[in-house]
Amino acid sequence: MIIQPEILKELKEKLLAEKNRVKEELGRIAKPNKTEGDYTTSFSEIGTDEDENASEVEEYTANLALEANLEKQLKEITEALERIENGTYGKCENCAKDISIERLRAYPAAKTCLDC
Ligand SMILES: [Zn+2]
């Protein structure tokens, strides 16, 4: 599919903004590892009381799930940006059909078309 340059630029900017947002959120709850895009959830020490320990574990468990989700988002965004670079952006990974511009606008990291 030929995506008009100005639309592609708009989608790329969206992806870059989204990437920064996700990275910022990840930075709040996790520490980056040596591998780009890989993070480890931080365990915050609130206190040593039993109650405090329970909150720490609770917070850590919630952050663990959030971190996995954000890491997945970051990976999808990075892959979408790579597809823009190598010219395969906008094609469904599943059926190789073009993904509609409306869908890409709503979800620029989309890998598959609406039918898939
Ligand atoms: Zn498809």
Residue 70's CATH number: 1.20.120.910
pLDDT value of residue 46: 84
Q: How far, in Å, is the centroid of ligand 1 from the Cα of 113?
A: 4
In a domain, 111, yes or no: no
Q: What is the domain range of residue 14?
A: 5-106
Asked whether 84 and 98 are in contact (CB, 8 A), the reply is no
Q: How far, in Å, is the centroid of ligand 1 from the Cα of 75?
A: 20
Q: For residues 30 and 61, what is the distance between their CA atoms, to the nearest angstrom?
A: 12
Q: How far, in Å, is the centroid of ligand 1 from the Cα of 3?
A: 17
Q: How far, in Å, is the centroid of ligand 1 from the Cα of 1?
A: 13
Structure tokens at 70: 């954000």
Per the prediction, the chain carries an average pLDDT of 94
Asked whether 99 and 113 are in contact (CB, 8 A), the reply is yes
Asked whether 111 and 25 are in contact (CB, 8 A), the reply is no
pLDDT value of residue 1: 62
Report the percent of the chain where pLDDT is more than 90: 87
Q: How far, in Å, is the centroid of ligand 1 from the Cα of 93?
A: 7
Q: How far, in Å, is the centroid of ligand 1 from the Cα of 24?
A: 32
pTM of the predicted structure, to 2 decimals: 0.86
pLDDT greater than 90 at residue 27 = yes
Specify the number of domains making up the chain: 1
Handedness of CA 68, 72, 73, 77 (dihedral sign): positive
In a domain, 115, yes or no: no
pLDDT value of residue 45: 86
pLDDT value of residue 10: 97
In this prediction, residues 77-104 reach a mean pLDDT of 95
In a domain, 46, yes or no: yes
Structure tokens at 80: 């979408």
Q: How far, in Å, is the centroid of ligand 1 from the Cα of 104?
A: 13
In a domain, 112, yes or no: no
Q: Using one digit for the tens of pLDDT, what is the confidence trace for 45-58?
A: 888 899 999 999 99
